Structure 1
Amino acid sequence: MEILIAVASAIAVEIPKALVAPVSRHIKALVAPISRHIGYLTGYELNIKDLKEKLQKLKDKKTVVDRHVAGPTADSIIQWKKKVDDISKKGNEFFQNEMNVNKCFNTNCPDPMSRYSLSKKAEGMTKTVLDLLKQTEEFGDMAHPGINLGSAFITEGIRDFRSRESIKNEVWEALKDDNLSMISICGTGGVGKTTMVKELVQRVEREKLFDVVGMAVVSQTPNIKKIQGDIASWLNLKLDDENELKRAGELRQGLINHGKRILIILDDVWSELDFEKIGLPSRGERKGHKIMLTSRNMDECNKMESEKNITMKVLEKDEARDLFREMAGISNVQDLHQTATEIADECGGLPLAIVTIAKGLKNKGRNKWDDTLQRLKNSNLQGVSRDVFSRIELSYKLLEDEEAKSCFLLCSLFPEDFNVPVEDLVRYGMGLRLFKNVDKVHHARTRVYNLIDELKESFLLLEGDRHDYVKMHDIVRDVAISIASRDKQWHTLQSEAKMKWLEEDGYKHCIVISLSYEKISDQLNDLEYPKLELLQIWDDCWSPGLPNNVYAGMKELKVLALSSSFTSLPQSLDVLRNLRTLCLEVSNEHWGRAIGALVKLEILEIRYGCSSF
């Protein structure tokens, strides 16, 4: 009864005119406000929880801004930080008040008006917090080079799981232990190793355990120069020389002479690394330094003399179920609870699988949920990694928009852990005619950004390290490559396949090929690709060039991207009469005559010097 009185009181203040009008004329006008006010009471717990999570995210964002905004601070950032401090203070006062109300509630003296007021206030504060979070998108150009404020150590989606507390505490104690110079977090792909590391880094920064924290993603095929550059950028070291060996010496001396406590994180390590080749000090030289690895293989960590290996296991069943329901947004949809429980159980306790499936089912109908459950139950794939693979593949299938699927597969054409330029997706999509009823580049750009938002919401794409770029989780990329090659004859040729791909008869049916120039330039003569529509070749800078007749058997080519600095273009370029998109990295200006013969060319991008590949 008190609850009804509270709602009625609130409505009486807000809509007195409706109460004196004839019911038949104003019944619809009453329904919305009544539902809204009742919602403040029934949704009390959710509103409080949402405010707490968004406020923490805002505080985390401010930490990143404080750390990575360089040079004179703009007035807009100063004002933003003041507003963040103000809302944080109000948030602390709010939660103290909320705690007092709950104490009263738990002693059999419920105060529904107070809970109603708190719920409504929480919703209003959450909107303010979201506005402040959105403002950070304008700070990108002022950030530390190479760091995007939307991704650097931000931990959106992290939940406090009971089963993870002991692991986090163990890692934290290892970080504090000065007798340990290298530790590792080991676990299967998709279990949440990187996410936990990002969460721990925030605590490291809050408690000032280390003066400097540097992070580099290693991946399955390590790029030594990139690893060196990433670590150096965090330390504000400049590596002048392009020679890897000399860079290693500069980095090593910079680390040894830095004079501060440094934590270096090497994420996603697949095999033993040569620390000397990178420029990381040996164990005896790591005074005040500590290295933390994340890896799927504990044996490889042991080879690198990791002194403490901490295993990260999958989520417990109740945690997995709670995470799934939250990500799918069905906390108040009772008829889906049992189906959600079964789907969550099928995900094997792996956060990556849980989140991607749940996001794919959000706001979908009952039939889609039942069909997804049946697909999961009928999966014949065995083993944890294969289970993750099949679950992510199902998330892809849950995408209703075929254009979103194509955009997702386009991202798999780029190297592992690569910042994929959105503009490349626009150019490739236009050339392949992937977008329906789109004939202008700016319309295509709008469409691509919309598709990217959809893919991010499904956790199939991540924020890039820079503005207007996106990234793929390495496991998600593996799934995308498999789908693309199986369903569409799109092939991304990785290192182990470079010498074998020409031996297979299936290459004649390829529609899209992305490959490295390394080791295949002498095999590109006299090849027939009658169905090929997109060819992307990427590698290190200053490649010597391609054979003159390389394009003779690719006359249906629609998109050509040479993301290496070739000293000259093949003479056979003029046979590509169907080419619509051409992206070139060139080292001289002798390309005009060949391009002039491309009668259907619509998009041309010319870059001089070294490619970002």
Structure 2
Amino acid sequence: MEFLTASFQVIFEKIFDYTIGAVGRQIRYPIDYKKNVDNLRKKVKELENARDSVQCRVEVATRNVEKIEDNVLMWLTDVEEITAKVGKFFEDEGQAKMKCCNGPCPNLKARHQLSRRAYKLGLDVKEINDGGMFSTIGYREPIQGIGTTIPTKGYVDFDSRKPIFEGVMEALKDENIRAIGVCGMGGTGKTMLVGKVARQAMEENLFEEVVTIVVSQTPNLKEIQKDIAKELGLKFKDEETDLEKTHLLHGRLNQGKKILIIVDDIWKKLDLEAVGISFENDKQGCKILMTSRSRDVLDDMDAKKIFLVVVLSDDEATYLFRKIVGDIVVTSDFQSIAVEVIKECGGLPIAITVVGHALKSKKVLNVWKNALRQLKTANPVDAKDKEVYNCIKLSYKFLTEEGKKLFLFCSIFPEDEEITIAFLWRLLVGLDFLEDVNTVEDVRNSVYTLVEELKASCLLLEGKKSGTVKMHDVVRDVAIYIADKDKDMLTIRRPDDLKNSSNPRIFEDSILIGPFGIKSSQLPERLECPRVKLIALSRKGASIQIPNPFFEGMKNLKVLVVIDFRVPKLPSLTSFHDNLQALHLIRCKLEDIAMIGELKNLKVLNLAGSNIRQLPKEIEQLTDLKLLDLTECYHLKVIAPNVLSNLKKLEELYMKRSFDEWETEEQGMERSNARISDLYHLCNLTTLQIKIPNVKILSKFLFLENLERYEIVIGNDWYWDGESEYEPEILRKLKLCLDRSSQLEVGIKKILKSCECLYLGKMEGVDCIPDEDFPKLKYLNITRNAEIQYIISRTGVQHVAFPLLESISLNHMIKLEKICHGQLAEGSFGNLRKLQVFLCDSLRFMFSSSVVGYFSKLQEIGIRGCMGMSAIVAKESEEEIEINDITTNTMEFPQLRCISIGNLPSLMGFYSGVDSHLLFNEKVR
């Protein structure tokens, strides 16, 4: 009984406390009215700040092609819903206050209800805000390999290829066959055929995932393992051992999914099982499809079915050649020569393609005869590849002299390497590679022109990423042979050759050396290369140092490239410091770099990705410097005063994700850091990447007027976005966030005229985009702007608005009422493809019916979270047609492919003039 009594007493006390507490709150609601309302305002402000921060991270993730996490999207939706409820509360509160003012005393009942609502809303707001701490915002979705890795452009379905194609397809469907091989000599089109097989297999749903890897002559099993894991969406951790990674990959491949792994260009037997590339259950449908020049290799790899790709028949070769060159091959004058040229190509698709592109624009018979003579007399690399060598050598001879030099230069890059064109021309700036070319801008333009020449000759291929190219491995072999034979350059095929070469004179005669991917054991103490002009060292594996005397035998060195090395102190550069014109220390761990100031003739200094904290004052001695790259120098906080202003010949300055600690002009005479005004002295500046977080340090900015390309971030609310490596083959991009319209100084107003990509944030006192014609603007993004009512407002004289604009994104613009206000001139928005609007509650419609015709090229529309939007298109006058009359004035969106909408509670239909619950109706085509 005592126990029951004690228990009852505890329960009774809790009930009593709860009851008294609840009653107490009811009593205090009118008393705590102001406290609860103020607390709600505070909580909402905190939530809005958190929302803006998350939304900014969402924008960055979206631009980086990441899929946003579902919990993040749900949270943002919750925020918008609670914000709408709070807005309704303050609207009701305002009305209640007005009513109270009419009487002699406050309305206690209204105060009680409002206070109670404020208290509970405050709890809800706090709960949502507490749930907004996200460690990750988005994630990259796995990319299927066949869409990017295997080239199939130009593939022709020849009769000789059909049985092979069909045979491989049958083998892929045969559950008793795990490994399949395709072999043939270089240039027969094995890779293209396998690419077509992979695409067909995916279309028939034979596999759930397809992964492609290219092996090449010097395979690296760890890299192969990493590449396969990446395409499968499997992430390795740095701390995981090789054995753990092998088990992880093995487990990923044996989860029951049907997976096709394509292993292209195998030169010798690979132990794929050692890195986890194996299947426990052959019956689950997983396959390995391999290509090689050697049938023996495929046998060693346990291929159960092997298909041989042979050369084309005479008819097939003739068809392919004629397809490239045109009907000139059947004219009486050229026909006999064409037959012999095709014969010399030996039925190899790559040879026919290369020669065809070399001759297709040549209409003089003597040129064709000379080409045939060269094909017959050229020296082969080896007997079996004679036709390939002869054909590529012929195409090489048709190049301009500068085209030939660039073709050979590209072979110093590793096999299957994607060559970034921007990196390519940077290397050439320091080599005096081009005649009568003096500026960095001219070098860039010339290299891009030459790359197009090589691509047109099929000697360079498009890379997977924009702005990259690559060499077919067969073409590269020929380029290396030509370069070695002419003793113009030496390409290090294997890093061990640096230390173990049996013929030291090879190095002594070399002009260009590219030993990429070296290890510490492969680096000699000293390399005797008295004629060398360029050497490129990239580290592979553990961090290593360069021996101090390594460069002493390179007195004529002009370009030095060091990638991923640890360089506590720069090795002795005295032997060539008067000749060196370009120094690239990329992603290096650097400490003392003051001695760079001794390199008086330096034109290019690239410290991208390095860990430097201060740019030393000695750099100001580099008065011939034309390009300075400090991209992703995250730790760089100090640039000595006047260093930048002394670099009077500087043409290009890159500081993305780097230094932004600019001093203000008001900080006194004693200076410890760089100022924006230092850039005013750089009258040759044409390219600039820079962030200016403090708007107050903006001056007239007149130095911006001469820029050819730029990415300028003004204001602290912006993040850098996009890829970082050699990005500015860039758009002219400006991110702008100002406190008031008066800060649109003359320099910024002028640069807007050339801007191609514009981001606008907070701009107080501006109700529409500044009255500029924006003749070159392609991308417009406006976010978190609380002032702008119209994107464009036209009255009086009409101008063409945004003639080149391709994409608009509008986000968090609470006062935006219309995209277009007033009449538009013909041609306005004439190129717009994509329009996205998010969280613009005052926007009632996207278009008025009178301007729909200006948006005829729209392909994609996205609308989310616009609470006031009732229609996509708004009817403007009673003279418009009615629902039953569809013969005139019909709205057309002929190129529209996608409409994505969400959280539009007021949406009634596509067109406001129609009383319909349907999104579309017959007025919209």
**Would the aligned equivalents of 2:175 and 2:282 in 1 still touch at CA under 8 Å?**
no
What pairs with 1:199-278 in structure 2 (closer than 5 Å)?
Answer: 199-241=196-238, 243-257=241-255, 259-278=256-275
* Distance verdict in 2 for CA 1:261–1:372, change over 3 Å: same
How many angstroms apart in 2 are the aligned matches of 1:195 and 1:307?
A: 21
Partner of 1:479: 478
How many angstroms apart in 2 are the aligned matches of 1:347 and 1:413?
A: 26
Shift of residue 338, structure 1, vs aligned partner: 2.1
Q: Secondary structure at the match of 2:177?
A: coil
Shift of residue 185, structure 1, vs aligned partner: 0.4
Q: Which deviates further from its counterpart, 266-275 or 506-515?
A: 506-515
Shift of residue 570, structure 1, vs aligned partner: 3.8
Shift of residue 410, structure 1, vs aligned partner: 1.7
How many angstroms apart in 1 are the aligned matches of 2:438 and 2:594?
A: 27
Shift of residue 205, structure 1, vs aligned partner: 2.0
How many angstroms apart in 2 are the aligned matches of 1:172 and 1:488?
A: 47
Q: Secondary structure at the match of 1:607?
A: coil
How many angstroms apart in 1 are the aligned matches of 2:262 and 2:329?
A: 40
Q: Which amino acid aligns with 1:404?
A: G
How many angstroms apart in 1 are the aligned matches of 2:150 and 2:522?
A: 40
Partner of 1:315: 312
Q: Give 1 or 2: higher helix fraction.
A: 1
What pairs with 1:347-362 in structure 2 (closer than 5 Å)?
Answer: 347-362=345-360
Q: Which amino acid aligns with 1:513?
A: I
How many angstroms apart in 1 are the aligned matches of 2:233 and 2:283?
A: 19
How many angstroms apart in 1 are the aligned matches of 2:159 and 2:140?
A: 35
Q: Secondary structure at the match of 2:589?
A: coil
Shift of residue 413, structure 1, vs aligned partner: 0.7
Partner of 1:174: 171
Partner of 1:345: 343
How many angstroms apart in 1 are the aligned matches of 2:571 and 2:523?
A: 16
Q: Which amino acid aligns with 1:342?
A: E
Partner of 1:497: 497
Partner of 1:434: 433
Q: Which string of whole-angstrom CA distances, capped at 9 and with x for unpartnered residues, describes residues 205-262 of structure 1?
A: 22222111110001111122332232223222222246444322221111112x3211
Q: Which amino acid aligns with 1:446?
A: N
Q: Which amino acid aligns with 1:608?
A: G
2:564 aligned with 1:568: no
How many angstroms apart in 2 are the aligned matches of 1:577 and 1:183?
A: 58
Q: Secondary structure at the match of 2:372?
A: helix
Shift of residue 529, structure 1, vs aligned partner: 2.4
**Would the aligned equivalents of 1:560 and 1:582 in 2 still touch at CA under 8 Å?**
yes
What pairs with 1:90-109 in structure 2 (closer than 5 Å)?
Answer: none
Correspondent of 2:285 among 271, 285, 288: 288
Q: Which deviates further from its counterpart, 182-191 or 549-558?
A: 549-558
Give the TM-score of the pair, scaled to structure 2. 0.48
**Would the aligned equivalents of 1:214 and 1:234 in 2 still touch at CA under 8 Å?**
yes
Q: Which string of whole-angstrom CA distances, capped at 9 and with x for unpartnered residues, describes residues 464-502 of structure 1?
A: 122222111111111111111222430012226344436
How many angstroms apart in 2 are the aligned matches of 1:425 and 1:380?
A: 29
Q: Which deviates further from its counterpart, 264-273 or 589-598?
A: 589-598
**Would the aligned equivalents of 1:172 and 1:200 in 2 still touch at CA under 8 Å?**
yes
How many angstroms apart in 1 are the aligned matches of 2:233 and 2:511?
A: 44
Q: Which string of whole-angstrom CA distances, capped at 9 and with x for unpartnered residues, describes residues 103-144 of structure 1?
A: xxxxxxxxxxxxxxxxxxxxxxxxxxxxxxxxxxxxxxx997
Q: Which amino acid aligns with 2:510?
A: C
How many angstroms apart in 2 are the aligned matches of 1:337 and 1:244?
A: 60
**Would the aligned equivalents of 1:268 and 1:295 in 2 still touch at CA under 8 Å?**
yes
How many angstroms apart in 2 are the aligned matches of 1:539 and 1:588?
A: 12
How many angstroms apart in 2 are the aligned matches of 1:561 and 1:336?
A: 49
Q: Which amino acid aligns with 1:360?
A: A
**Would the aligned equivalents of 2:141 and 2:233 in 1 still touch at CA under 8 Å?**
no
How many angstroms apart in 2 are the aligned matches of 1:475 and 1:445?
A: 27
2:155 aligned with 1:158: yes
How many angstroms apart in 2 are the aligned matches of 1:149 and 1:435?
A: 38
Shift of residue 174, structure 1, vs aligned partner: 0.7
2:261 aligned with 1:299: no
What pairs with 1:39-118 in structure 2 (closer than 5 Å)?
Answer: 71=67
Shift of residue 605, structure 1, vs aligned partner: 1.4
How many angstroms apart in 1 are the aligned matches of 2:551 and 2:185?
A: 43
**Would the aligned equivalents of 1:559 and 1:582 in 2 still touch at CA under 8 Å?**
yes
Shift of residue 317, structure 1, vs aligned partner: 0.7
How many angstroms apart in 2 are the aligned matches of 1:331 and 1:278?
A: 53
* Distance verdict in 2 for CA 1:150–1:280, change over 3 Å: closer
Residue ranges of structure 2 left out of the alignment (5+ in a row): 1-63, 69-138, 612-631, 633-724, 726-925
* Distance verdict in 2 for CA 1:528–1:167, change over 3 Å: closer
Q: Which amino acid aligns with 2:211?
A: G
**Would the aligned equivalents of 1:212 and 1:261 in 2 still touch at CA under 8 Å?**
yes
Q: Secondary structure at the match of 1:573?
A: coil
Shift of residue 358, structure 1, vs aligned partner: 0.9
Partner of 1:553: 553
Partner of 1:453: 452
Residue ranges of structure 1 left out of the alignment (5+ in a row): 1-67, 73-141
Partner of 2:398: 398
How many angstroms apart in 1 are the aligned matches of 2:501 and 2:144?
A: 37
Q: What is the identity percentage for the equivalent residue pairs of Structure 1 and Structure 2?
A: 39
Q: Secondary structure at the match of 1:336?
A: helix
**Would the aligned equivalents of 2:183 and 2:309 in 1 still touch at CA under 8 Å?**
yes
Q: Secondary structure at the match of 1:218?
A: strand
How many angstroms apart in 1 are the aligned matches of 2:143 and 2:584?
A: 23
Partner of 1:130: none
* Distance verdict in 2 for CA 1:70–1:196, change over 3 Å: farther
Partner of 1:529: 529
**Would the aligned equivalents of 2:558 and 2:579 in 1 still touch at CA under 8 Å?**
yes
**Would the aligned equivalents of 2:416 and 2:472 in 1 still touch at CA under 8 Å?**
yes
Partner of 2:84: none
Q: Secondary structure at the match of 1:254?
A: helix
How many angstroms apart in 1 are the aligned matches of 2:480 and 2:358?
A: 19
* Distance verdict in 2 for CA 1:410–1:440, change over 3 Å: same
**Would the aligned equivalents of 1:542 and 1:587 in 2 still touch at CA under 8 Å?**
no
Give the TM-score of the pair, scaled to structure 1. 0.72
Q: Secondary structure at the match of 2:188?
A: coil
Q: Which amino acid aligns with 1:413?
A: I
**Would the aligned equivalents of 1:545 and 1:570 in 2 still touch at CA under 8 Å?**
no
Instruction: Give aligned pairs, total.
Output: 473
How many angstroms apart in 2 are the aligned matches of 1:152 and 1:500?
A: 34
Q: Secondary structure at the match of 2:284?
A: coil
* Distance verdict in 2 for CA 1:522–1:210, change over 3 Å: closer
How many angstroms apart in 2 are the aligned matches of 1:441 and 1:148?
A: 37
**Would the aligned equivalents of 2:221 and 2:272 in 1 still touch at CA under 8 Å?**
no
Q: Secondary structure at the match of 1:266?
A: strand
2:580 aligned with 1:579: yes
Q: Which string of whole-angstrom CA distances, capped at 9 and with x for unpartnered residues, describes residues 515-567 of structure 1?
A: 25336655332x44221110111231443211112222212111111123224
* Distance verdict in 2 for CA 1:569–1:462, change over 3 Å: farther
**Would the aligned equivalents of 1:546 and 1:569 in 2 still touch at CA under 8 Å?**
no
Q: Secondary structure at the match of 1:523?
A: coil
* Distance verdict in 2 for CA 1:150–1:303, change over 3 Å: closer
Shift of residue 507, structure 1, vs aligned partner: 2.2
How many angstroms apart in 2 are the aligned matches of 1:162 and 1:353?
A: 19
* Distance verdict in 2 for CA 1:201–1:245, change over 3 Å: same
Q: Which deviates further from its counterpart, 145-154 or 378-387?
A: 145-154
Larger of the two Rg values belongs to structure = 2
Q: Which amino acid aligns with 1:515?
A: P
* Distance verdict in 2 for CA 1:607–1:251, change over 3 Å: farther
* Distance verdict in 2 for CA 1:520–1:281, change over 3 Å: closer
**Would the aligned equivalents of 1:148 and 1:464 in 2 still touch at CA under 8 Å?**
no
Q: Which deviates further from its counterpart, 151-160 or 278-287?
A: 278-287
* Distance verdict in 2 for CA 1:169–1:150, change over 3 Å: closer
* Distance verdict in 2 for CA 1:453–1:223, change over 3 Å: same
